[in-house]
Structure 1
Amino acid sequence: MASNEQPIIIKKVKKVVHGHHGGAWKIAYADFVTAMMAFFLLMWLISMTTPEQKQGLADYFAPSNVSRSTSGAGGIMGGTAFDETGARMPGTKPQVVMTISTPAQPKSPETAKKEAERTTEMNELMKQMSSRDHRNFQSAAESIRQSMRDNPDLAELSKNVIIDETPEGLRIQIVDQDGRSMFPPGNVEPYERTRLLIEKVAKILVRLPNRISISGHTDANPVTGRPGYSNWELTSDRANATRRIFENAGLANDRIYQVVGKADSEPLFPEDPYMASNRRLSVVLLREAPVTPPGFSP
């Protein structure tokens, strides 16, 4: 007897699974971008280097059996020898240092004009200050000489005073002479005639605005009779005693620039360090302006 039941058909379907691409393409793309960046950076560096720098790079990558000697000034490798008898050891490569200079930005016409105007104004100001210093120095020197001529007590000291103009300013030196000292031997306080001379100088310099430097000097003979007391202490004390005389004569304290003792380190006559004239006081009326102002052409 036939069965009415339908046969059961089992259909097997083979499913093909395709693999996922993953992130490999990202790595490849990153390598490509990096390579392009390196390429453009190389092109930029090549465009910015000088011929001498390019030659230095070529020498660096040259085969080791090629000997090349380059010397002379200029360029990154200027003055360096690259053969085996030069500055490097055989078989080594020279070190290449590459510098990249950024071109200076051009100044605008307005900026250049303002800078030129400021330079002109500064030069004119410095010129005026130098001229004023020169006039003041001449006036002070003549006033000191005139005061000595008018005073019989000071006229005999004219040979003990040296007045000259130096790059620092107007220098007034009160020096010892054989048989006529300005200070008692080894003493800090000057003779009365020396004190009077210093006061006259102070009263003339007090009328000028320039600052003042005072220094004491002596000869090469050491100080005797005072253990531990040398020419350094003696000249410092004498310079300081002179400062007190200046201040008592009316010189403001802020006008004093420096007070120093130099012992026998700066003799007036280096060929004879024991000469009496090496013992002296030096008073310098300092310049307000340098001798040659920056950028000034007379």
Structure 2
Amino acid sequence: MKRSGRGSGGHTTIIKRSSKKGHHAAHTGAWKVAFADFTLAMMALFMVLWIVNSVSQEEREEIVAVLNGHTIFDGNPFSPISSLDGSSKGTKPVPMPIKVSAHMADVKTNAINPRQQRPLVPNPRATLNTALYNSKLEMEDLARVILKITESLEAGSNLKIEIVPQGLRILVQDDKSREMFQRGSAQLSPFFNELLLELAPVFDEIENPMIITGHTDAVRYKSKDNYNNWNLSGDRALEARRVLEKGGLSESKVIQVNAMSAQMLLDPDEPEGAQNRRIEIMVLTKSAADTLYQFFGNHGEKVVKPAAERVEGVASAMNTK
């Protein structure tokens, strides 16, 4: 308070001091954008949870199979996901990093005895577990064991391995210096006979079932009794199975033998090339084997019981009540 004037009759001036409050910054709409994003994310999450809850276990497995690759019964059954080095190479097989010595490449197939030519090596099966191999890492372990045997036989150019969604795909095929079969014949050459004999105990050690498939090139088989590439590829697959069983493979391990003729050429640009003449050995995962049983068998987790059996089961259950 401040008094003005000298006398008592002067007027009084009152000064009131007040602090000025600052104005808040103007509100923006940025929070609305963030809230909209959050709402959209939550809606997507709830939709996914609803779909997962409404889909059966069998349908989920089919969706996973479609996302990861093809089944063993569609038009392109062996589309690889990766080779052992982790790089994808498309639909063509990826050769494993094994070198073939120069002097072995020049030796004729019928002039060698593989048991006498190769050096003695430790048994590669010592590191193999007797189990059902399913995961990619387990298949890689199995592939390494097979590659050790291949190295001991110096057969790197004749055997290629791929990890595919259905298991482990092993291609045994011709090269420029070795032919697995004589032209038009289902008789294995000594070198490939020895290779399969060495691989047989490895396949018998594991619990995975197998499929053996024979392939020919596109050269037409000339025969008066209608014997053609279908017969030839089937006979070659059966011969491979016979040699594997001779080497110690249990008969029950092979659940299917296929003849493909020249329907699945590895090198379509060279249909008569040696790469197309091959035997494919497919070591199946449990899921792939169950799919096969579902199509052709009556056991396995995915097999649907016949309608008559289900009706009888329901009727018997009602009668017991």
| TM-score, normalised by the number of residues in structure 2 | 0.47
Q: 1:262 aligns with which of 244, 260, 263?
A: 260
Q: Is the 8 A contact 1:219 1:267 kept in 2?
A: yes
Shift of the alpha carbon at 1:240?
A: 0.4
SS at 1:243's partner residue? helix
1:148 is aligned to: 150
**2:194 equivalent in structure 1:** 196
Distance 1:270 1:137 in 2: 28
1:214 alignment partner in structure 2 = 212
1:175-190, aligned counterparts within 5 Å? 175-190=173-188
Whether the 8 Å contact between 2:210 and 2:283 is mirrored in structure 1 is yes
Partner of 1:144, secondary structure, is helix
Distance in 1, matches of 2:156 and 2:198, equals 13
Q: Distance in 1 between matches of 2:188 and 2:248?
A: 19
1:28 corresponds to? none
Task: Indicate the SS of the match to 2:193.
Answer: helix
Q: 1:233–1:288: structure 2 CA closer, same or farther, 3 Å change rule? A: same
Q: Which residue is 2:247 aligned to?
A: 249
Find the aligned partners of 1:255 and 1:131 in 2 and give their Cα distance.
Answer: 14
Q: Following TM superposition, by how much is the alpha carbon of 1:213 offset from its aligned partner in structure 2, in angstroms? A: 0.2
SS of the equivalent of 1:274 reads: coil
**Aligned Cα root-mean-square deviation (Å):** 2.9
Alignment of 1:1-298 (within 5 A): 132-150=134-152, 154-155=153-154, 157-224=155-222, 227-289=225-287
Task: After TM superposition, give the deviation of residue 136 of structure 1 in Å.
Answer: 3.2
Deviation at 1:251, TM superposition (A): 1.8
1:199 Cα deviation after fit: 1.4
Deviation at 1:226, TM superposition (A): 5.5
In structure 2, list runs of 5 or more residues that go unmatched.
1-52, 65-130, 289-321
Deviations 1:90-135 (A, max 9, x none): xxxxxxxxxxxxxxxxxxxxxxxxx99x97xx99xx9xx9984434
Distance in 2 separating the partners of 1:200 and 1:187: 22
**Count of matched residue positions in the alignment of Structure 1 and Structure 2:** 166
Q: Distance in 2 between matches of 1:233 and 1:139?
A: 35
Assess if the C-alpha contact under 8 Å between 1:214 and 1:260 holds in 2.
yes
Residues 231-272 of structure 1 show CA distances to partners (whole Å, capped at 9, x for unaligned) of 100010010011111222222222111101111000011222
The answer to whether the 8 A contact 2:196-2:247 is kept is: no
Alpha-carbon distance between aligned partners in 2 of 1:254 and 1:130, rounded to the nearest angstrom:
15
C-alpha distance after superposition, 1:166-211 (max 9, x if no partner): 1221011011123421111111111011011111222111111110
Does the aligned pair in 2 maintain the 1:144–1:200 contact within 8 Å?
no
Contact 2:200-2:247 at 8 Å conserved across structures: yes
Runs of 4 or more above 4 Å deviation = 129-132
With over 3 angstroms needed to count, the CA separation of the structure-2 counterparts of 1:226 and 1:184, relative to structure 1, is: farther
CA distance in 2, matches of 1:158, 1:238: 21
Question: What is the alpha-carbon distance in structure 2 between the residues aligned to residue 253 and residue 133 of structure 1?
Answer: 25
Aligned residues of 2:132 and 2:207 also touching (Cα < 8 A): no
> Which letter maps to 1:259?
V
User: 1:141 corresponds to which letter in structure 2?
Assistant: A
Return closer, same or farther for 1:236/1:274 CA change in 2, 3 Å cut-off: same
Alpha-carbon distance between aligned partners in 1 of 2:193 and 2:137, rounded to the nearest angstrom: 27
Specify whether residues 195 and 267 from structure 1 end up closer, same or farther in structure 2 by C-alpha distance, changes over 3 A only. same
CA distance 1:131–1:184, shift in 2 (3 Å): closer
Rate the CA distance shift 1:226–1:174 in 2: closer, same or farther, 3 A. farther
Equivalents in 2 of 1:247, 1:235: separation in Å? Answer: 19
Equivalent-residue separation in structure 2 for 1:270 and 1:250 (angstroms): 36
Gaps of 5+ in 1: 1-114, 291-298
SS of 2:196's partner is helix
**CA–CA separation in structure 2 for the residues paired with 1:252 and 1:136:** 21
Structure 1's 187 and 203: CA in aligned 2 closer, same or farther, altered over 3 A? same
Q: Per-residue CA shift, 1:29-57, capped at 9, x if unaligned?
A: xxxxxxxxxxxxxxxxxxxxxxxxxxxxx
**2: distance between equivalents of 1:274 and 1:140?**
32
